[in-house]
């Protein structure tokens, strides 16, 4: 199925673009004619941009820590400097750091999970709004998770529940200003090993058991009883980012093989 021109003439920020879903989204947006600002806190994001430009696409890399408002503001400023506007923001930063029952989380770990999986989306939405409001036009796609109902990652679930609430509330505030805000909620996704692990510490035997419980529950909760592919997660994100979804806003779409999260 070809969507060759969905992003022609559009300026699209993709966060978390160094690997995984974010990298795939950035590559596809560029292949469909968009000008991409690929953002990550890792300099590996430059590799994503090199691949895009080698394929004839238009992209630039920007390194920022999006767990801070300053990082989000710098990202938007860079996009306005390079491309003069922002048409689409795709918020893809987040991910479980630890996997264990809630009573085993330490205070600092709970805060770290929320900083990782709620604040980048919160800050980036806040940072991009002034530019979109000025043009009375814009699209935001947040990447949430079906893990809002799941085991062994309560702080992450709470953060992603926050992303869902943010999506609905922001849409209510700003649809009349020409801005659409939606989210996809990916289920378990088969991806290549991460170039930078979310948690560098070696798993203990108990931690492996706790993590396996997540895998088992994810597959059991999916009507298809399997993980999805990267392409299966990327496609609905691109749909929400494009004008094809022009009559949809304030919606969280579960992409989990029938698991509604």
Listed by start position, the domains of the chain span 11-255
Could you give the C-alpha distances from 8 to 15, 29, 50, in angstroms and in order? Answer: 20, 9, 20
- pLDDT bucket at 74, cuts 50 / 70 / 90: very high
Across the range 34-52, mean pLDDT stands at 98
Across the range 88-115, mean pLDDT stands at 98
156 is an active site residue: yes
Q: Please report the pLDDT score of residue 1 as a whole number.
A: 45
12-21, 116-125, 153-162, 198-207: the lowest-pLDDT one: 198-207
DSSP tag of 8? T
Catalytic residue among 83, 156, 227, 247: 156
Give the chain's mean pLDDT.
96
pLDDT, tens digit (0-9, with 9 covering 90-100), for 107-138: 999 999 999 999 999 999 999 999 999 999 99
Q: Please report the pLDDT score of residue 3 as a whole number.
A: 59
In this structure, what token pair is assigned to residue 114?
């929320």
Q: Please report the pLDDT score of residue 212 as a whole number.
A: 95
Q: Please report the pLDDT score of residue 196 as a whole number.
A: 75
Long-range contacts of the stretch 42-51 (C-beta < 8 A, 24+): 42/18, 42/195, 42/196, 44/18, 44/19, 44/195, 44/196, 45/17, 45/18, 47/18, 48/17, 48/18, 48/19, 48/23, 51/27
What is the CATH architecture assignment of 11-255? 3-Layer(aba) Sandwich (3.40)
What is the percent of the chain where pLDDT is above 70? 99
C-beta of residue 218 within 8 angstroms of C-beta of residue 257: no
Dihedral (Cα; 106, 111, 116, 122), 10-degree rounding: 160
Across the range 13-37, mean pLDDT stands at 98
Taking the C-alpha atoms of residue 122 and residue 110, their distance in angstroms, rounded to an integer, is 17
In this structure, what token pair is assigned to residue 169?
């509330």
> From the centroid of its chain, how far is CA 108?
23
Q: Please report the pLDDT score of residue 197 as a whole number.
A: 74
């Amino acid at each position: 199925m070809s969507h060759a021109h969905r992003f022609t003439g559009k300026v699209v920020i993709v966060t978390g673009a160094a690997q995984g879903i974010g990298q795939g989204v950035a590559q596809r947006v560029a292949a469909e004619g968009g000008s991409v600002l690929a953002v990550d806190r890792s300099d590996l994001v430059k590799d994503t941009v090199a691949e895009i430009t080698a394929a004839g696409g238009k992209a630039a890399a920007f390194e920022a820590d999006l767990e801070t408002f300053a990082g989000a503001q710098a990202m938007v400023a860079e996009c306005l400097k390079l491309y003069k506007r922002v048409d689409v923001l795709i918020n893809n930063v987040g991910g479980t750091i630890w996997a264990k029952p809630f009573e085993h989380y330490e205070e600092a770990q709970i805060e770290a999970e929320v900083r990782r999986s709620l604040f980048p989306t919160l800050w980036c939405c806040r940072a991009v709004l002034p530019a979109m409001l000025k043009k009375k036009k814009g699209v935001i796609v947040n990447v949430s998770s079906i893990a809002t109902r799941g085991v062994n990652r309560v702080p992450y679930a709470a953060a992603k529940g926050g992303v869902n609430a943010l999506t609905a509330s922001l849409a209510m505030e700003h649809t009349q200003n020409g801005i659409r805000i939606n989210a996809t909620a990916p289920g378990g996704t088969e991806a290549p090993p991460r170039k930078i692990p979310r948690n560098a510490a070696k798993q203990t035997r108990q931690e492996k058991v706790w993590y396996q419980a997540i895998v088992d529950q994810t597959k059991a909760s999916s009507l298809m009883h399997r993980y999805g592919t990267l392409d299966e997660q990327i496609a609905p994100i691109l749909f929400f980012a494009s004008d094809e979804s022009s009559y949809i806003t304030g919606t969280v779409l579960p992409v989990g093989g029938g698991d509604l999260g």
